Structure 1
Amino acid sequence: MTKRNTQQRRHAIAVLVQEQGEVSVEALTQRFATSEVTIRKDLALLETGGLLLRRYGGAVSLPSEMVIEPDVEQVSNRKQAIARAAAERIRDHNRVIIDSGTTTSSMIPLLGNKRGLVVMTNSLNVAGQLRELENEPILLMTGGTWDPHSESFQGQMAEQALRSYDFDQLFIGADGIDLERGTTTFNELVGLSRVMAEVAREVIVMVESEKIGRRIPNLELPWQRIHTLVTDDGLGAEARDQIQAKGVTLICASPSADTPRRK
């Protein structure tokens, strides 16, 4: 199926959900003559874009109070732009780590056209989305101790699992970016993130521009560990200059453009 047909199908699904309030995977499969895996992938992408909410066996329309939130929609658009730019850096047969987080998980529905991926994650949410892809990657889980704060696995067992492999890329988010020190977080459990960075050839940080400049006490990854920063085009010129001075590849993705701007 062509990309255009895929986009048309997803648009039609979004309209159906809005009109009917609820749709099932089974009904959509029959209506569009495609597989359940493909429909689940469509629903995952539409949910990430803020157009519906997935439920067991289907999807429902957004509550009315969620529909007219311009700030939420703006954030969603920024996350989608960052996700598109990050996903473009993944080649077929890459071995990647995807850390837990809403920004990193926004990239998952965009990986359906990638072939032969090997993906390790510490997130049950990321793992669940990966299993819905039409080209399902080889999935590796870190295991370890469940941390309810970050909704991810952490600890020594997870670190040992990571050290058993080597990876092409790490995709990781951040609670904040300290322009002097690097990525920062509210979570004191930073050991796993540092091991992830150690075992990956390229560390790609995905973060919205509004988080850049936040000074949070817990340093997660120093600039020396970061190769690429993917953000949106709301980043100011002064911050761009400071990041580039660290030797980091900076990609500023525009929600209104298909092609991200590389700095």
Structure 2
Amino acid sequence: MRSSKSVDVRRQAIVTWINQHGHTQVEALAAQFNTSEVTIRKDLAALDAQGLIIRQFGGAVPAVANHSVPDALSPKTSNVISSLSHIGECAASLVKPGSKLVIDCGSTTSTILPFLSQIGGLVVMTNALATANYLTQCEKEPTVLMTGGTWDAQSQSFQGAMAEQLVNAYSFDIAFIGAAGIDVNRGTTTFNELTGVTRAMAQAASKVVVMASSKKLTHKMPNLELGWDTISVLITDEGISAQDKQNIEEQGVAVMIAALNGE
């Protein structure tokens, strides 16, 4: 049986390695530290939750706060990563132990995952295979449910009538939904006509939380996905204008700003 001391030593070494080498794949870390990929994924989940590294699907990068950013990441890219991470942290603040969640596919919704890793007793349904894989590696592994359905390569998720039917069979405390675009007057918008699962998730949840960067406010797409009347909370970054924030709040949606400075 491994001692907690040996686990701590390995994790400290992993942080040092990632800070020195930049983005590192799980497979490489497993080989470097002579352990399994499952163990490495749990290590990365724990280290991410502590803010020591930033976990990405397939590996990890140095935490932006460490100022040890991989050469391939420009300052602008680093700011984007940090901004999205803060949106994920803000979203996770709404989650209580034992909550029943449904998480839609998307890069922004996935930013909540590291912050869920230390919340116990969760039940999480998702249509994203990568999200399910991440959650099953958490130290406090939630009960994970997959929607099933037909695999859509564009969204990297399961879609279709079967997925919708399974979502409709459950009830959730919170649905975390992304947005390809946001229309201040209408709601979330998309080019993708596969909106059935997202709408089913919203209908099955007591609270619908949309996670989207402020740049999505400049993306107005033809297909309305969720109207503001179905959305409880919008979590975005400081780039949203005061006027847009007011317009959205006037439609009954709480707007939470995930500030980079933590204020």
Task: Give the alignment partner of residue 81 of structure 1, picking from 77, 86, 98.
Answer: 86
8 Å contact 1:209–1:232 — kept in the other structure? yes
Once the two structures are superposed, residues 121-143 of structure 1 have per-residue CA deviations (whole angstroms, 9 ceiling, x without a partner) of: 00001001101110000010000
1:200 and 2:201 correspond: no
Q: Secondary structure at the match of 2:155?
A: coil
Task: Give the alignment partner of residue 242 of structure 1, picking from 221, 241, 247.
Answer: 247
Once the two structures are superposed, residues 110-169 of structure 1 have per-residue CA deviations (whole angstroms, 9 ceiling, x without a partner) of: 111111100000000100110111000001000000111111000000011011111100
One-letter amino acid matched to 2:141? E
Question: Corresponding residue for 2:18?
Answer: 17
Question: Corresponding residue for 1:3?
Answer: none
The Cα of 1:243 is off from its aligned counterpart by 0.8
1:163 and 2:164 correspond: no
The Cα of 1:214 is off from its aligned counterpart by 2.2
Q: Secondary structure at the match of 2:79?
A: helix
State the TM-score, normalized to the length of structure 2: 0.82
Question: Corresponding residue for 2:109?
Answer: 104
8 Å contact 1:50–1:73 — kept in the other structure? no
For residues 243 and 48 of structure 1, do their structure 2 counterparts lie closer, same or farther at Cα, with a shift above 3 Å needed? farther
CA distance in 2, matches of 1:194, 1:52: 27
Task: Give the alignment partner of residue 66 of structure 1, picking from 56, 69, 72.
Answer: 72
For residues 73 and 48 of structure 1, do their structure 2 counterparts lie closer, same or farther at Cα, with a shift above 3 Å needed? farther
Question: Corresponding residue for 2:194?
Answer: 189
8 Å contact 2:129–2:157 — kept in the other structure? yes
Task: Give the alignment partner of residue 159 of structure 2, picking from 125, 134, 154.
Answer: 154
One-letter amino acid matched to 2:171? D
CA distance in 1, matches of 2:153, 2:52: 22
Any stretches of 5+ residues in structure 2 without a counterpart? 1-6, 63-67
State the TM-score, normalized to the length of structure 1: 0.82
RMSD over aligned Cα, in angstroms? Answer: 3.2
CA distance in 1, matches of 2:203, 2:144: 20
The Cα of 1:249 is off from its aligned counterpart by 0.8
Question: Corresponding residue for 2:99?
Answer: 94
The Cα of 1:72 is off from its aligned counterpart by 1.2
CA distance in 2, matches of 1:118, 1:196: 14
Worse-superposed segment, 10-19 or 87-96: 10-19
Question: Corresponding residue for 1:41?
Answer: 45
Q: Secondary structure at the match of 2:234?
A: strand
Number of residue-to-residue matches in the alignment: 245
Q: Secondary structure at the match of 1:221?
A: strand
One-letter amino acid matched to 1:138? T
Question: Corresponding residue for 1:119?
Answer: 124
CA distance in 2, matches of 1:124, 1:176: 23
The Cα of 1:38 is off from its aligned counterpart by 3.5
Seq. identity, %: 39
1:180 and 2:181 correspond: no
Any stretches of 5+ residues in structure 1 without a counterpart? 1-5
The Cα of 1:15 is off from its aligned counterpart by 3.0
8 Å contact 2:55–2:61 — kept in the other structure? no
